Amino acid sequence: MRKTCETCVVRDRALCSALSPDQLAVLSSLGTQRHLKRGETLVRAGDETIVCANLQTGVMKIAATTSDGEAAIVGLLYPGDFIGRPFAGSAGHDIVALTDVMLCSFSRVRFEEALRDHQQMESLLLQRTMAELDRAREWLVKMGRANAGARVAGFLDDLTRRLDMLGCTGPQALELPLSRGEIAELLGLTIETVSRQFTRMRVAGAIELPGGRRIIVRDAQMLKAMAAA
């Protein structure tokens, strides 16, 4: 496990980035690697919270169940994000793998002990929680005011940011973790509207659509401008 920590691709972004090498060695002894295939559920809403984890690779969704029994996507988790609810009795949402994912997993009880022992990590968790609350508020404003084009462009712009693609030069290809129907659900749009906006961005030269879920971002700055429209 320690070797995994030393070579972890999200080492500088995960909560454990707040720890010194000696502190990390202690924490690493408590964690285990866990692989989930696309579609597998890590946590179900209402179940006892027994697991905390750092997402190392892949993308997961946070889903809630509506009053009519339908599942609704309310958020996404990317590499470096923390999963779990320390000091909480039960989970508030389903956490499901949208792609194959790798997790560094801890029992909730042991992770709570680690937070008590390492104030830096506890402070970082609080900072991230507040930042996530700010992002959720910004998202509500955008959903209420932005047009369909800005919503779809904003989703793609955020996706490239969270997957660390903006630092790359030239066109960048990626596999969308969501279907167009799921993107529509997340953005409060119809599938037809999402498809029209993809076509609009392709015609403008911001993206290419090779087929399936593959997308090539040709002009990240244009995409960003569309998101801010």
Q: Note the pLDDT of residue 170.
A: 60
pTM of this prediction? Answer: 0.81
Listing from the earlier edge strand, what are the strands of the sheet with 41-43? 41-43, 94-97, 60-65, 71-77
Element (H, E) at 222: helix 220-228
Given this structure, which CATH class describes domain 146-228?
mainly alpha
The pLDDT tens digits of the residues spanning 77-136 come to 999 898 888 887 788 899 999 999 999 888 888 888 877 887 777 787 788 788 878 877
The pLDDT tens digits of the residues spanning 150-186 come to 999 999 998 988 876 444 556 788 899 999 999 998 9
Closest of 129, 135, 33, 49 to residue 89, by C-alpha: 49
Every domain of the chain and the residues it spans: 2-132, 146-228
Percent over 70 (pLDDT), the chain:
90
User: What kind of fold does domain 2-132 have according to CATH?
Assistant: Jelly Rolls (2.60.120)
Q: Which residue has the higher pLDDT, 132 or 27?
A: 132
